Structure formats: C-alpha cells, structure tokens
Amino acid sequence: MSAVATATPLLAASDLEVEIAGTPILRGADLQIDGGELVAVVGPNGAGKSTLVRAVSGLQPYSAGDVRWAGRVLAGLRGRELARMRAFVPQRMPVPAGVVVREAVTIGRSSHLRPLRRLQGEDRGAIEAAMARAGVLRFAERQLSTLSGGELQRVQIAIGLAQETPVLIADEPTSQLDLGAAVGIATLLRGLADEGLAVLLVVHDLALAVAVADRAVVVSEGRTVVSGDPGEILTSDLLGSVWRADAELSAVDGRTALHVAWLPKEGVRAP
C-alpha cells in the first residue's frame, strides 16, 4: 500500500472549526490526502469525524480554517466544479420505490451533463465501468428496494465512481454490514486506492483501519490528535487516552484484531 505523493495535495484542510446550533463540533481539525492513498478517519463517537469529512466535502459550513482542493480554496469552487473533485458516499442512501440500480448510478453523471443535455456515449461508458468496478452489473436491473445492505453500499460506491472524481469519500461504509459484506466493501475500497484513486473513509472499526489504510487520522473532541501509519499510531496508550479502553491492536500475516479488556480486572480501574 503506497500513496502517490504530489506537490499539491488533492485535499488539504487545516484548523477547521464548526459549530452546529451553537455547539462547537470541530475545534481545529486537520486533514490531507493524496492520490492513491487510503486514509481512515477514526475516533470515539461524537468526536467530529463525520462533521470533518462533510465540512471538507462542502456539505457542512465551517466557521474558521482552510480547505483546498488541488490548491483551490473550497469557497471558490462552484457546485459542479466541486462535484468533479470529490464524490461523497453517505452512510445510508435513500431507497425510492421503483428505481433500479442502473438508474441510480446514472445520477453520478449529473455533474458532467449540461442543462437539457442527454447522456452521451462517454457517459454510458462511465456508468457501465462504474457498475462493473463496484460489482453491481449482475443486478443492474433490480430495484433498490430488493437489495441487501452490502449490495446497496456497492451501488452507492458505483454512483460515486460514475462521477469520475480523483477523490472518493465514504462515511462509515461498513457500518451495519455483516462480516462478509464488510470484507467485500473493504477489499473494493482498498483496490480503488491501489488503482490510484484517493479514498477517504470514516470508520469505527480500528482493526479495519489497520488492515486497509495507508494512514489514519485520529479525531478526538473536535481536534486532530495524530496522523500516521495506523499500525504505528494506534497504540494501547492512545486507545486508553482517546477511547478510554484497555485495548491493543495486533496484525499478523495480514490478519488484524482488536483485543479488548471488556471488564476491568478486580482492583484495577478502567482508563
């Protein structure tokens, strides 16, 4: 796993501050990603992870800080321009009745279409390629309402791939999936990064972050605590100080595991 370092990062955000309904959510968060890099944003519940990725994606206003896409200030990018820089995969997609997979993936081409312009050959090609890469061609004509959680997540990724952006952002793409579906999605996203796409994930599963990410960004109480190789920075000391858990991560022969002391030993207080 290796990233393609560039002089100007595809995304660089620094000192971000966000308030929602008068409550500070981010208090100085940083984030950066380059092509071919898979970055996992991790942290406790309520740390501000999803708010951070939504803010850099232009989906959540921020009150202070700086966000630049390929060197361009986020505030200076029009909606269509931003949609060609990043694709955002939300936690859950709406499942309207009667819509089939192919129709849903077509939505991903909207940023490439001028008003009143119909799909061209290149658009249809991009849609087919996105469905093939996400592994949804086999059920392209099925209605969304008939799909499993893992299949729906693949459709969401296909919609993002149809945008043909250099960065794909996914907010908790493996949440609420069974083990097999989660492994499949993780493998897909790692493969996309290996092909040169920049992939930014919000994840809760620390073992998953160690397994697939080139770099982890740890967010706690609205701030970026540390960023680096997940196998090196996600130490037992960090898990204790940030997650308040007696735990450690291990990685052996490509298999990762999180070992947790679920109940404190007698006479020993939990962190």
Q: Which of 106, 44, 54, 119 is nearest to 82 (CA)?
A: 54
* In a shared domain, residues 169 and 72: yes
Residue 78 has pLDDT above 80, yes or no: yes
> Do 78 and 180 belong together in one domain?
yes
- Residue 110 in any domain: the answer is yes
Q: Does residue 188 sit in the same domain as residue 157?
A: no
- Taking the model in full, what pTM does it have? 0.92
Cβ neighbours of 175 (radius 10 Å): 15
Report the pLDDT value the prediction gives residue 116, as an integer from 0 to 100.
Answer: 56
Which one, of 63, 106, 58, lies nearest residue 86 by Cα? 58
Confidence of residue 67 (pLDDT cuts 50, 70, 90): very high
Please, which pLDDT band fits residue 269 given cuts at 50, 70 and 90?
low
Residue 113 shares a structural domain with residue 9? no
Average of pLDDT values for 205-232?
Answer: 97
Over residues 172-206, the pLDDT tens digits come to 999 989 999 999 999 999 999 999 999 999 999 99
**DSSP summary character for residue 262:** S
Please, what's the b/e burial string for 242-267 (b: 16 or more CB within 10 A of its CB; e: otherwise)? bbebbbbbeeeeeebebeeeeeeeee
> From CA 109, how far away is CA 123, in angstroms rounded?
7
- Does residue 205 lie in a domain region? yes
- Going by pLDDT thresholds of 50, 70 and 90, the confidence category of residue 266 is low
pLDDT of residue 89: 95
Contacts of 199 (CB under 8 A, 6+ apart): 37, 38, 39, 167, 168, 170, 189, 190, 192, 193
Q: 78 and 52 share a domain?
A: yes
| Residue 197 forms part of a structural domain | yes
Instruction: Clarify whether residues 75 and 187 are in a common domain.
Output: yes
Q: Is residue 260 part of a domain?
A: no
Residue 206 lies in a domain: yes
Average pLDDT over residues 55-65: 96
Q: Are residues 111 and 147 in the same domain?
A: yes
Tokens 């991790």 belong to residue: 42
- pLDDT at res. 81: 92
Assess if residue 248 is contained within a domain: no
In this structure, are 121 and 169 located in the same domain? Answer: no
Rg of the chain taking only CA atoms, in angstroms:
19
49 within a domain of the structure (yes/no): yes
- Using pLDDT thresholds of 50, 70 and 90, give the confidence band for residue 218: very high
Least confident piece of the model among 58-72, 76-90, 108-122, 141-155: 108-122
Residue 268: per-residue pLDDT: 53
Name the band, by pLDDT with cuts 50, 70 and 90, for residue 120. confident
Q: Domain total for the chain?
A: 2
Interatomic CA distance for residues 194 and 257, integer angstroms: 23
Helix (H, G, I), strand (E, B) or coil at 76: helix
Tell whether 76 and 179 lie within a shared domain.
yes
Confidence of residue 270 (pLDDT cuts 50, 70, 90): low
Residue 4 has pLDDT above 60, yes or no: no
Question: What integer is the mean pLDDT of 243-254?
Answer: 94
| CA count, 13 A, side-chain hemisphere, 32 | 15
pLDDT band (50, 70, 90) for residue 102: very high
Task: Name the 3-class secondary structure at 167.
Answer: strand
Could you tell me the CATH number of the domain that includes residue 195? Answer: 3.40.50.300
The Cα–Cα gap between 74 and 13 comes to 10
pLDDT at residue 31 in the model: 97
* 115 and 70 housed in the same domain: no
User: 35 and 73: one domain?
Assistant: yes
Residue with tokens 């990724």: 157
Q: Which domain holds residue 77?
A: 1-85+165-235
Q: Are 84 and 111 in contact (CB under 8 A)?
A: yes
Of the pLDDT bands very low, low, confident and very high (cuts 50, 70, 90), residue 94 is: confident
Structure tokens at 205: 């599963």
Q: Do 153 and 173 have their domain in common?
A: no
In a domain, 240, yes or no: no
